[in-house]
Amino acid sequence: MKAAFDFSFASYATPGLVKIIYILAVIIAAIGWIGSTISYFVLAATTHTAVSRLGGPPQTDTSVAMFISPVLLLLFGWVPGLLWVLVVRVVLEAALALVRAAEDVRAMRDKNLGPVS
């Protein structure tokens, strides 16, 4: 984490930040899935209550669809979050590979030519 505040840019911050960013991506995806599922269930319940209080029929096509949508979201709503986490993972791995390649090139340069200030 000290590398994040290295103003001489002698060391790379990416290796230390990759774990944190990946954990945050997983947490954000999970919270997004759970939050959207809860909000859909609340919306469905609110809509059903409003329709029944306004004298509408208790089982309409709209109310059935409003209850099916959250269930489908509960079952399959994790898929977009998983895809997003996979994209974040690929980007982080690419960044980490680039940093590791730069570190290896620096080590080879220092070995062959000596350290450069």
Digit-coded pLDDT (tens) for 78-108: 999 999 999 999 999 999 999 999 989 988 9
Query: Quick check: is 7 in a domain?
Result: no
pLDDT tens by residue, 44-61: 777 766 556 666 555 555
Given a cut of 70, is residue 114 above it in pLDDT?
yes
Six-digit token string for 108: 């080879």
* 56 vs 65, higher pLDDT: 65
* Number of structural domains found in the chain: 1
Query: What pLDDT is stored for residue 90 in this prediction?
Result: 96
Query: Quick check: is 3 in a domain?
Result: no
Query: Quick check: is 5 in a domain?
Result: no
Given a cut of 90, is residue 27 above it in pLDDT?
yes
Query: What pLDDT is stored for residue 73 in this prediction?
Result: 84
Query: Quick check: is 8 in a domain?
Result: no
Query: What pLDDT is stored for residue 42 in this prediction?
Result: 82
Q: Which long-range contacts (CB under 8 A, 24 or more apart) does 67-72 make?
A: 69/40, 69/44, 70/37, 70/40, 70/41, 70/43, 70/44
User: In 10 A of CB 3, how many CB atoms?
Assistant: 14
* 56 vs 74, higher pLDDT: 74
Given a cut of 90, is residue 37 above it in pLDDT?
no
Query: Quick check: is 62 in a domain?
Result: yes
Query: Quick check: is 45 in a domain?
Result: yes
The residue range of the domain holding 86 is 13-113
